[in-house]
Structure 1
Amino acid sequence: MARVARDGRRLRVDLEVDPSDDWDCPIVSETPDATDVAVNAVGHDCTVDVQPADGEGLVRARGEVSEDCLCRIFQGFGCVPHVRRVEDGTMLVTAYVDDRDTVRDVVGALRETLDRVRLVRLAVVEGPEATERVTFDLSALTPKQREGLELAVVRGYFDGDRDVRLGELAADLDISKSALSQRLRAAQAKIVTDAFDGDGE
């Protein structure tokens, strides 16, 4: 059973993932587009019910849970993935995690086996009714801003107890420190503006 953070808060993370060419998952092998997916992975066996986006009947498929399976990766961090939809083979996956460290670890593990993993949204969820208090929508960022911010989050740049330097991240992206600094500032400003530019309390 997944543990809940002591203060009752959790993070909801939405990820877009593209499977690798040799990834044999029934979620995407049955249809490239789906509006809903139910997954039941037990042991080494996996059964999925996929609702094709064209409205045709529900498709049930079976597969084998391998080490690089999406469900296995999430389960390794005590998370349950929910595949919300599939578009052109790209899956939108939602999971609830305890902290940013887990977000970083999950994204890092997924990137070791999948072609593309993109952080789409983060939300702070708290209370017995799982109310979303603060939501960070990353879809408004430019591709370069998102790339820089994702790398900084995954590598732990914003964690005070981590020794990750801006120059290291800039070298990974093959850009200057000043260029990365500007991207991160712009991305953070956009996220903070969106978070507080609403009609909420």
Structure 2
Amino acid sequence: MSDVAAADGDRRLRVDLDVDPAADSGCPIVAESDEAASVTVNAVGDDCVVDVTTPDGEVRRGTGEVTDDCLCHAFGRVGCVPHFRRVEGGTVLVTAYVDDRTAVRRLVEELRGVVDRVRLVRLAVVEGPDATEQVTFDLSALTPKQRRGLELAVVRGYFDGDRDVRLSDLADELEISKSALSQRLRTAQAKLVTDIFDDAER
């Protein structure tokens, strides 16, 4: 992975997110085209200038006003830089590199405050001065219910040993039984582990 180096050779996380900007946000990333193969953003002062390359190679330039509710500011408040990959059907695929799972939770919470929807697509451990991906968790193989349960568990800190997060609380938030959530998480974790070992054998 060449577009980022781990800070001081430390382990970091790569986070891939699907983000739907709010319809009334005026974000030029999606205002120019709801499909884009690449996006370049230059936000300086109160002005944001975006170059959007459509799938057929046309480059469109859009402008917007920088506000506290801007997508980019949500990333900045967590201390990370967004890398906009593409736009599909108005949904922006964006990558960021963070130091730990706490930062992942903070980022998702910040984004939920300014966008219509945010969904965790992939987590990858990045390690060493060459920023080599060691472990990748591709969530696309999960069902929407499994993904939602796992995402909530990660965001709330259920898998962190130093946090007191109960499975029953997560189940209540999803409006399902504790046993149903437990089954979803077990199934999701099994799929992810299987995918990791399948990738390692290729």
TM-score (normalised: structure 2): 0.93
95-104 or 59-68, larger mean C-alpha shift: 59-68
Which residue of 2 is the match for residue 72 of structure 1?
73
Which residue of 2 is the match for residue 86 of structure 1?
87
Letter in 1 for 2:47: D
Which residue of 2 is the match for residue 145 of structure 1?
146
How far does residue 198 in structure 1 lie from its aligned partner after superposition? Answer: 2.6
Matches within 5 A, 1:38-187: 38-56=40-58, 58-187=59-188
Q: CA RMSD in A?
A: 1.8
Which residue of 2 is the match for residue 12 of structure 1?
14
Note if contact 2:6-2:126 (Cα within 8 Å) is conserved in structure 1.
no
Letter in 1 for 2:156: R
Letter in 1 for 2:133: E
1:197 partner SS: helix
Note if contact 2:21-2:91 (Cα within 8 Å) is conserved in structure 1.
yes
1:191 partner SS: helix
Give me the whole-angstrom Cα distance separating, in 2, the residues matched to 1:93 and 1:145: 22
Give me the whole-angstrom Cα distance separating, in 1, the residues matched to 2:201 and 2:43: 39
Note if contact 1:84-1:91 (Cα within 8 Å) is conserved in structure 2.
yes
Decide whether aligned partners of structure 1 residues 173 and 64 sit closer, same or farther in structure 2, where only a CA change above 3 A counts.
same
How far does residue 159 in structure 1 lie from its aligned partner after superposition? Answer: 0.9
Give me the whole-angstrom Cα distance separating, in 2, the residues matched to 1:199 and 1:185: 21
How far does residue 155 in structure 1 lie from its aligned partner after superposition? Answer: 0.8
Give me the whole-angstrom Cα distance separating, in 2, the residues matched to 1:86 and 1:198: 27
Note if contact 2:71-2:115 (Cα within 8 Å) is conserved in structure 1.
no
Mark the runs of 5 or more structure 1 residues left unpaired by the alignment: none
Give me the whole-angstrom Cα distance separating, in 1, the residues matched to 2:10 and 2:170: 33
TM-score (normalised: structure 1): 0.93
Note if contact 1:4-1:98 (Cα within 8 Å) is conserved in structure 2.
no
Decide whether aligned partners of structure 1 residues 6 and 160 sit closer, same or farther in structure 2, where only a CA change above 3 A counts.
farther
2:113 partner SS: helix
Decide whether aligned partners of structure 1 residues 125 and 4 sit closer, same or farther in structure 2, where only a CA change above 3 A counts.
closer
Mark the runs of 5 or more structure 2 residues left unpaired by the alignment: none
* Percent of pairs with identical residues: 70
Note if contact 2:125-2:135 (Cα within 8 Å) is conserved in structure 1.
yes
Letter in 2 for 1:74: F
Decide whether aligned partners of structure 1 residues 6 and 159 sit closer, same or farther in structure 2, where only a CA change above 3 A counts.
farther
Letter in 2 for 1:35: A
How far does residue 195 in structure 1 lie from its aligned partner after superposition? Answer: 1.0
Letter in 1 for 2:154: V
Tell me the number of residue pairs that the alignment of Structure 1 and Structure 2 aligns.
Answer: 199
Decide whether aligned partners of structure 1 residues 164 and 5 sit closer, same or farther in structure 2, where only a CA change above 3 A counts.
farther
How far does residue 200 in structure 1 lie from its aligned partner after superposition? Answer: 5.0
Answer yes or no: is 1:25 the counterpart of 2:27. yes
How far does residue 8 in structure 1 lie from its aligned partner after superposition? Answer: 1.2
How far does residue 106 in structure 1 lie from its aligned partner after superposition? Answer: 0.2
Letter in 1 for 2:167: L
Letter in 1 for 2:37: T
